[in-house]
Amino acid sequence: MELKVEKSRRKTLLLTVDRDGTPVVRTPLSASAEEIARFVKKHERWLARRIAERRSAPITVLGDGASVTLFGETYTLSTGRSGIRAGVLTLPAENRERAFVRLLKKLTAEKMGALTASLAAQYGFSYSAVRVSSARGRWGSCSAKGTISYTFRIALVPPSLAYYVAVHELCHTRRLDHSPAFWREVESILPDARSARKALRGYGYLMNEFL
Ligand SMILES: [Zn+2]
**Tens-digit pLDDT profile for residues 187-197:** 999 999 999 99
Rounded mean pLDDT, 31-57: 82
168 C-alpha vs ligand 1 centroid, how far in Å? 6
Ordered by where they begin, the domains of the chain are 4-56 (no CATH), 105-208 (3.30.2010.10)
CA of 174 relative to ligand 1 center, distance in Å: 11
DSSP per position, 67-81? EEEETTEEEEEEESS
Q: Report, as an integer, the average pLDDT of 87-108.
A: 94
The phi-psi region of residue 170 (left if phi > 0; otherwise alpha if psi is between -120 and 50; otherwise beta) is alpha
What separation in Å is there between the alpha carbon of 127 and the centre of ligand 1?
Answer: 15
Ligand 1 centroid to 49 CA: how many Å? 32
Say what the alpha-carbon torsion angle 29, 32, 37, 39 is, to the nearest 10 degrees.
Answer: -60
pLDDT at 49 over 60: yes
Check: pTM over 0.75? Answer yes or no. Answer: no
List the end-to-end C-alpha distance of the chain, in Å, as a whole number: 27
Position 68 pLDDT exceeds 60: yes
Of residues 111 and 67, more confidence is placed in 111
